[in-house]
Homo-oligomer: A and B are copies of this chain.
Amino acid sequence: MALRFALMIDPVASDDRRESFDDAFTVVDPLGPALPLGELSAQRGDGVFESLGVVDGHAQEVGPHLDRLAHSAHLLDLPAPNAAQWRAAIARVAAEAGPGESVIKLILSRGIEEGSSPTAWVTLATAPENTRARTEGVRVVTLDRGYQLDVPGRAPWLLLGAKTLSYAVNMAAIREAKRRGADDAVFVTTDGYVLEAPTASVILRLGDRFVTPEPAAGILHGTTQRSLFAHLAQRGFSTVYEPVLLSDLRTADAAWLLSSVRLAAPISAVDGVEKTVDRDLTDELNAYLLSPRD
């Protein structure tokens, strides 16, 4: 995902109601030097981010992504983002996207070491080719996330519900999955509950019920999962948040990984055991997810 366009943001206070944020944006060379070495994003992964899908120039689910950015910032004691400013930045960047699928990434870092304000930027890249994942599906392996289901609630300093820049473990899990001949991983707790994939939510179909793990389990509340659940509910399905056992994933009628850019990727195998892919339903879900959504 080579970057095609980038905007540095000078973050203003969350209650700043100025009419234009243009003078707080700086277009920068997306491939040239931009961040100083003292940047705490680079030194310590100390910040939060969001990735938004963009379809034919329309940034998807801007509101839910900004809500989650604010939630992550709160968990990390970062200054609350000014939603209007970020909205304006997203609009400025989305205007450069053109036809097809792109990715907008929002980054809010703690800033420079010993500095007094956060650093923020927004980038645009062409989305990777996801057709195969959306049709044939992804083979997953389950990997222990190392904690029990009750830990996130009592240890907020573990930041388990925040989308932080500290993603080394997420990347290591995907490498481990590939080493095992799979495409992606699904994290489970040490006591056997399904959590999420390193960069996606997990949903299961059990008859006419669609189920996903509760966000209180220290996972991200997926914007794509929420949007899809609203759509499924409108179509008359039951949509449920509840603890999901690894055995539920294995026996579910169908399962998907959901994320903002790859969208709905059916799970075609769990730990080497094949799983049926519902092509027609998956196509419908992705048609919905590719329609303009706010």
User: Within 8 Å CB of A185, what residues of B?
Assistant: 157
User: Within 8 Å CB of A45, what residues of B?
Assistant: 41, 44-45, 164-168
B155, A38: Cβ atoms closer than 8 Å: no
Q: A44-B45, A144-B151, A165-B168 are in contact. Are A34 and B36 (CB under 8 A)?
A: yes
User: Within 8 Å CB of A35, what residues of B?
Assistant: 33-37, 39, 42
User: Within 8 Å CB of A172, what residues of B?
Assistant: 76-77, 157-159
CB distance from A186 to the nearest CB of B (A): 12
B157, A151: Cβ atoms closer than 8 Å: no
User: What sequence of 0s and 1s flags, for each residue 137-172 of chain A, a beta carbon within 8 Å of any chain B beta carbon?
Assistant: 000000111111001101111111010111111111
- What's the tally of chain A residues with a CB closer than 8 Å to chain B? 63
CB distance from A39 to the nearest CB of B (A): 6
Q: A41-B42, A114-B2, A168-B164 are in contact. Are A190 and B30 (CB under 8 A)?
A: no
User: Within 8 Å CB of A162, what residues of B?
Assistant: 168
User: Within 8 Å CB of A160, what residues of B?
Assistant: 146
A46 at the interface (CB under 8 A from B): yes
A250 at the interface (CB under 8 A from B): no
A50 at the interface (CB under 8 A from B): no
A207 at the interface (CB under 8 A from B): no
Q: Residue on B with the closest CB to A128?
A: B114
A210 at the interface (CB under 8 A from B): no
- Cross-interface CB contact of A32 among B30, B36, B107, B155, cutoff 8 Å: B36
What separation, in Å, do the CA atoms of A6 and B109 have in the docked complex? 21
- Show the binding face of A for B, using Cβ within 8 Å: 1-3, 6, 28, 30-39, 41-47, 49, 76-77, 105, 107, 109-110, 113-114, 121, 123, 143-148, 151-152, 154-160, 162, 164-173, 175-176, 185, 190
Leading 4 A-B pairs by shortest Cβ distance: A45-B45, A166-B166, A44-B167, A166-B168
16 of the cross-chain contacts (CB-CB < 8 Å) are A30-B36, A30-B38, A35-B35, A35-B37, A35-B39, A38-B123, A39-B42, A41-B42, A43-B165, A44-B167, A45-B166, A144-B154, A145-B155, A157-B172, A157-B185, A159-B168
